[in-house]
Structure 1
Amino acid sequence: MRRLFPLVTLSLLAAPAAARAQEAPAAPTLPETVVTGTRAPLAAARIPAAVTVITRQDIDERGYQSLAEALAAAPGLHLVQVGGLGQQASAFLRGAASRHVRVLLDGVPIEDPSDPNGAFNFGNDLLGDIERIEVVRGPASALYGSGAIGGVVNLITRRAPPGRAFAPFGEIAGGTQRTLRGTVGAAGESGGLDWMLAGQALSTRGFNATAPRFLSSLGERDGLHAAAFTARLGATPIEGTRFEALLRWRENVFGLDDVPRDDPNYSGSDRRWIGWMRGETRLLDGRWTTGLRLAATHDRRRYVNLPDAGSPASTYDLYRGERVVLDWANTVRLGGFGPVSDALLAFGVAEERERVDSASGSPFFRTTVNASQRSLAGHGGLQFRLFDRLDLSAGLRHDAPEGFDGATSWQVGGVLALPEIATRLRASAGTAFKAPSLFQRFGVIGTFFRGNPDLRPERSLAWEAGAETDLLDGFATVSALYFESRVRDLINFDAAFRTLENVDRARIRGAELGLTLSPAPWLSATLAWAITDARDAATGERLPRRPEHVVGVTARIAPLPRLVIAPEILLTGRSREAPFASYADDGTPFPTARSNPAGVVANLTASWRWSDAATLFVEGRNLGNSRFEPANGFVVPGRSLLLGVRLGL
């Protein structure tokens, strides 16, 4: 591993020199803009952070059914799902812990406050109402507050297409494992009003999540029944003034398994409501945009395990989490003067309230939380361009949670365009934090454990630098980026397992290498290679479930005008499992840390545009029927095939 870092650094420095000394070719389309990286729309090439955008076209052409499937090939993001659709899925972004990813829907935080660590489950959400997904890697607490140590994932819902009074869309598909999937929706715009409605459902028998290598495996399948509904309404009564509202509901019912043996009577349900209202207007001849948003989320999770032949025990776990956010945000376009152009000032104030009521575990090990907390935050940022080639940005935010120490986060970055050699250089640095969860502060386990209300936030300091170069008039784009971060005050149990303390530290470094080839208008391919070295700073041991290497290869092949073939190959390297978290085939846990073997999963989706209104598609997942275990004992879903038709006018 250590040998790779000098090579990565050398390639990062050498990439610009490898380009021909020429002007960058003009892009045939408008540059893609990103909202999440700066809070204001900005071309992706001008954002100092590393950004990945998954568009609606990507979702359709690659056959992504869930958020977990869509993020599996995102550079620098390793997804660990303990089973198939609807199962618990954790994201490790740039080697940070799964609780160190901030997740948003249209800019609104949607993590479940009742999760003991405050982590987000990426296995629940379907994508029928999602227009795009933006992934920003690196510290982002200066923009989005608690949790953004590894980065941010922002889901952006569909909107009405401009100038269309009525635009229906939908799909229906079915296939192996008795899988049925459907989406129906419509959107429109007329007379200053716009709207979008979408309903979606998925039912599948699924696969056995427990690895078949276990001698006690029963082969019992873990199915999923999922449904969701989204309504969005907007109004623009006068130019420069807009009102919007959204309501989204989804509920999943699923089977669960444990390791090292199947559990046929273990099931769960997960329901979430989210709603927000927002109004904004422009002042000072449109230079100042000010907006106020009120948002609320409600999560309810229930897990039931009835007695069976394998175990007489029973379980009834119930989690309820609520969050209310009030956010006042402003952007002031300062224009330009002298060598400065596109100057923009952003500032705002936010208040967030969380409440949890949960009870889980056996009578002796019963875990309960009944608590709430409130946090106030103020943030400001400045971005501008120098000499029409250097984009600079800086941000500062202070969060003041109720009852414990606050946190101040900062971020600075820049992008230097070198059109003479078709190259862009990026560098940034910043801090981030994760506030203690309500369980960590106020949780109770039996009579022997109490949370620690005096816990400090977990904090990080990180930097990154990289380059991106276009070669041979757009034939290829190569990129290389190196990053380092230090995380301190990590929360863990004390030696007596009676409370929690800020006791751990981590050091993480790595590289993200990319290559995109576009040899012909009908052919493009992308390779993303993430190298991660995440270690406990005190012991030097690798952190669990952070693979040394993750390689994703995706392609878009359109040999005929109406045909698109989209292969995807995901290669995951070895990862470490903690002591007693890996098992022999007979189910015996290993008392020492061990490595999970590497694995490969291959997917293929093909789409045929039968008419302007209908597209036929076939989706094949895990075509090689890999038995890869992203978490020891839990196997990836087996081979599946889905046929369907997608409609849109």
Structure 2
Amino acid sequence: MYKYLFFGVSLVVLARPAFAQDETSITVTATGTRIEVEDTGQAVTVIGEAEIEAVQGADLTRVLERAPGVTFTRNGGTGSFTGVRLRGSEAEQVLTVIDGVRVSDPAAPTGGYDFGNLLALDLDKLEILRGSNSTIWGSDAIGGVIVASTRATSGLRASAEYGARDTVSTVVSGGLSDPDTGFLGLSGTWFSTDGISAAESGTEADGFEQWALNGHARYYFNDRFELFARTRYAEGELELDGFPAPNFTLADTDEVQETRQWTGSAGAVLDTGALFVSAAYSFSDTDRDNLDGSGAETFTSQGQSDRLDLRGEWRPIGPLLLNFGAENEWARYTTLFDTGEDTRSTGAYVQAGIEYNAISGHIGARVDDHADFGTAVSFGADASYELSPGWRLRASIGEGFKAPSLYQLHSEYGNLSLDPEQSTSFDLGLAYGERTLSRQRVYGAVTVYQRNTDNQIAFVSCFGETTGICTNRPFGTYDNITRTRARGVEAELWARPADGVTLGAIYTLTDAENRETGLALARRPRHAATFTGEFSPIAAVTLGADLRVVSSSFDNAANTVRLGGYEVMTLRGSWQVSEQVQLFGRVENLWDEQYQTAAGYGTAGTGAHIGARLAL
């Protein structure tokens, strides 16, 4: 209760008079440092607000598909559990950060983040880093890092959309700023849909409804020192399908899941030019209640984390720099069936670098101490070299680790002997130009990568076993039983062959396997590609098309259940009626492709949507 009061007071205190003009901001990037994208050897894709709006709609996966190395699985329609994988990683091995706050759920069995609870409606930017990066970020950054930033700009903006399955979405945002005083901004979203049946065999649609509020505030004491506060609250209700008696197969049910998420951060920034330091307190709370048709609770969970962070950058002389940081996290969880546990972890890192003319390079190390499993050490390095104007060679190597979740350690299935999952990844890439095509007509990039993961945690069935690790665990437990490898190729090509025409192609080859069995990892398609194009026949009108092509994969570790490949086409368009008003619309899944990303769970068929935006 006290921290919620603290954040409410922080936003009010920082809401000093501020007027007009655009705000300036220091944005946390997916690298964990303030580095420019062209100066890092790591594979990073940045998707800005203009591109997010051009894609249209609330479904975040349609935006993420425009970055290489990204695949997802979903248990039904929009709002259902959505796991995002980077380069064939597990979904929970992707660190997710929203407005500077780590949002993993300590009460989730594997401690990951459900992307079904994050909509694209008021996002300002997405940054996707592919590759292990625990040197800067600590636990969870095995597959990579996804950083999402919500809208924090001056002026008033609003949009509304209606479409198939009685789907309605609205967003309103506003902000006041002054370069000498600070910034105050608010945004709110509401989304509702009748949805589709989560069970592919079901006949009853499962709806989803969510509303969310975001607040941003900054106060500038002078041109070197500022205070900031950010907070986000989202509340949703999702209708579920389950495994009812007597068949215990996936089918229609009356179950509902209510989810409440509250995150926030507050702190201070000092920037003298040579020295940059940011200190912050942040929290992330996720509460879930599952209710049956009568409203009785069938499951509840509460996951909470609190963090103290210090991050800095020192440029002592010329091209030399030193990044440093430390943090302490407290995490705890409870469920309807577990009284709950808590844990603490502390970490610190240092990264030295040089950024001089055509070359940039960085090397760093990190030490983490976890109350339950002990110490983990991570190393990482990257380099970027401009071969000639426009051409850049990139390379990186990084280590990652993921601490066992509280559920894996302490639940009735827990194992206190678990070790952290550990990975080593490397990639080598060649790029030409910039993805935004701001200074040239062609952008191209190709990257080869590999990641080896050891001590991967998996659930062990104890059916028929009563000895060893199964002693006194009749239903099973968790153990470090798997070694995995993911390797492949990523390729991007963006071009503006003529004024008013933009074409793009994104392709990923992923070979992900269990090194113990030689079998393919579940739900990892070998091929995934997105083809996109936009054409402006006249200045005020833009027409676009997006084609997503995904190859087949297996739904289970034994490779006995196959998921078919699929191709989904979306047509979209917009008309800039005036400087302030835009009309837009799209048709999703144009040829009504029937496919699954998780066995037994349905996906949406053809649907049309239309909407309008207002900017003042």
Residue 404 of structure 1, CA deviation: 1.3
- Whether 1:229 and 2:198 are equivalent positions in the alignment is no
Give distance in 1, aligned partners of 2:118 and 2:31.
Answer: 25
C-alpha contact (below 8 Å) 1:379/1:398 kept by paired residues: yes
C-alpha contact (below 8 Å) 1:71/1:79 kept by paired residues: no
Pick from 518, 526, 539 the counterpart of residue 540 of structure 1. Answer: 518
Give distance in 2, aligned partners of 1:493 and 1:643.
Answer: 45
C-alpha contact (below 8 Å) 2:522/2:559 kept by paired residues: no
Pick from 165, 179, 194 the counterpart of residue 177 of structure 1. Answer: 165
- Whether 1:324 and 2:292 are equivalent positions in the alignment is no
Shift in CA distance, 60/483, structure 1 to aligned 2, threshold 3 Å: same
Partner of 2:465: none
Pick from 101, 108, 111 the counterpart of residue 118 of structure 1. Answer: 111
1:496-529 superposed Cα distances (whole Å, 9 cap, x missing partner): 3533221211111111012222102311111111
Partner of 1:298: 285
Give distance in 2, aligned partners of 1:218 and 1:42.
Answer: 49
Residue 558 of structure 1, CA deviation: 1.9
Residue 237 of structure 1, CA deviation: 1.7
Give structure 1 stretches of 5+ with no counterpart. Answer: 1-32, 162-166, 212-216, 309-313, 360-366, 445-449, 580-590
Greater Cα offset, 116-125 or 557-566: 557-566
Residue 555 of structure 1, CA deviation: 2.1
Partner of 1:188: 176
C-alpha contact (below 8 Å) 2:151/2:187 kept by paired residues: no
Partner of 2:406: 438
Shift in CA distance, 218/470, structure 1 to aligned 2, threshold 3 Å: closer
Q: Within 5 Å, which residues of 2 pair with 1:343-492? A: 343-359=320-336, 367-368=337-338, 370-386=340-356, 388-419=357-388, 422-444=390-412, 450-469=413-432, 474-492=440-458
- Whether 1:251 and 2:239 are equivalent positions in the alignment is no
Residue 207 of structure 1, CA deviation: 1.3
Give structure 2 stretches of 5+ with no counterpart. Answer: 1-25, 244-248, 463-469
1:549-596 superposed Cα distances (whole Å, 9 cap, x missing partner): 0011122322211112232111111111216xxxxxxxxxxx962321
- Whether 1:58 and 2:51 are equivalent positions in the alignment is yes
Partner of 1:11: none
Matched letter for residue 282 of structure 1 = D
Give distance in 2, aligned partners of 1:235 and 1:411.
Answer: 35
Residue 485 of structure 1, CA deviation: 1.2
SS state at 1:406 partner = strand
1:611-638 superposed Cα distances (whole Å, 9 cap, x missing partner): 1111111122212211111111112211
TM-score by length of 1: 0.84
SS state at 1:629 partner = coil
- Whether 1:603 and 2:570 are equivalent positions in the alignment is yes
C-alpha contact (below 8 Å) 2:304/2:333 kept by paired residues: yes
C-alpha contact (below 8 Å) 1:35/1:42 kept by paired residues: no
Shift in CA distance, 174/431, structure 1 to aligned 2, threshold 3 Å: same
Give distance in 2, aligned partners of 1:545 and 1:67.
Answer: 19
Residue 291 of structure 1, CA deviation: 2.0
Give distance in 2, aligned partners of 1:134 and 1:526.
Answer: 18
Q: Within 5 Å, which residues of 2 pair with 1:138-177? A: 138-161=131-154, 167-177=155-165
SS state at 1:551 partner = strand
Greater Cα offset, 483-492 or 250-259: 250-259
Residue 159 of structure 1, CA deviation: 2.1
Residue 56 of structure 1, CA deviation: 0.8
TM-score by length of 2: 0.89
1:533-560 superposed Cα distances (whole Å, 9 cap, x missing partner): 1111011000000001001112232221
Pick from 604, 619, 632 the counterpart of residue 599 of structure 2. Answer: 632
Residue 492 of structure 1, CA deviation: 2.1
C-alpha contact (below 8 Å) 1:369/1:438 kept by paired residues: no
Residue 315 of structure 1, CA deviation: 6.4
1:372-423 superposed Cα distances (whole Å, 9 cap, x missing partner): 000011011122124x111101121111111212211111011110125x42
1:113-160 superposed Cα distances (whole Å, 9 cap, x missing partner): 110001111111123332101000001111111110000000112223
SS state at 1:99 partner = helix
Residue 307 of structure 1, CA deviation: 8.0
Shift in CA distance, 350/34, structure 1 to aligned 2, threshold 3 Å: closer
Shift in CA distance, 226/188, structure 1 to aligned 2, threshold 3 Å: same
Matched letter for residue 293 of structure 1 = A
Give distance in 2, aligned partners of 1:470 and 1:330.
Answer: 30
Residue 368 of structure 1, CA deviation: 2.6
Matched letter for residue 228 of structure 1 = A
Pick from 273, 279, 286 the counterpart of residue 268 of structure 2. Answer: 279
Give distance in 1, aligned partners of 2:266 and 2:294.
Answer: 45
Give distance in 1, aligned partners of 2:391 and 2:27.
Answer: 20
C-alpha contact (below 8 Å) 2:39/2:355 kept by paired residues: no
Give distance in 1, aligned partners of 2:526 and 2:379.
Answer: 29
Partner of 2:615: 648
C-alpha contact (below 8 Å) 2:199/2:252 kept by paired residues: no
Shift in CA distance, 35/257, structure 1 to aligned 2, threshold 3 Å: same
Matched letter for residue 358 of structure 2 = R
SS state at 2:603 partner = coil
Partner of 1:575: 553
Residue 203 of structure 1, CA deviation: 1.1
Identical positions, percent: 27
Give distance in 1, aligned partners of 2:583 and 2:546.
Answer: 19
C-alpha contact (below 8 Å) 2:101/2:284 kept by paired residues: no
SS state at 1:123 partner = helix
SS state at 1:177 partner = helix
1:150-171 superposed Cα distances (whole Å, 9 cap, x missing partner): 000001122234xxxxx10111
C-alpha contact (below 8 Å) 1:277/1:293 kept by paired residues: yes
Give distance in 2, aligned partners of 1:290 and 1:549.
Answer: 42
Give distance in 1, aligned partners of 2:539 and 2:603.
Answer: 34
SS state at 2:315 partner = strand
Give distance in 1, aligned partners of 2:118 and 2:458.
Answer: 29
C-alpha contact (below 8 Å) 2:30/2:147 kept by paired residues: no
C-alpha contact (below 8 Å) 2:100/2:265 kept by paired residues: no
SS state at 1:638 partner = coil
C-alpha contact (below 8 Å) 1:68/1:123 kept by paired residues: no
Residue 495 of structure 1, CA deviation: 5.4
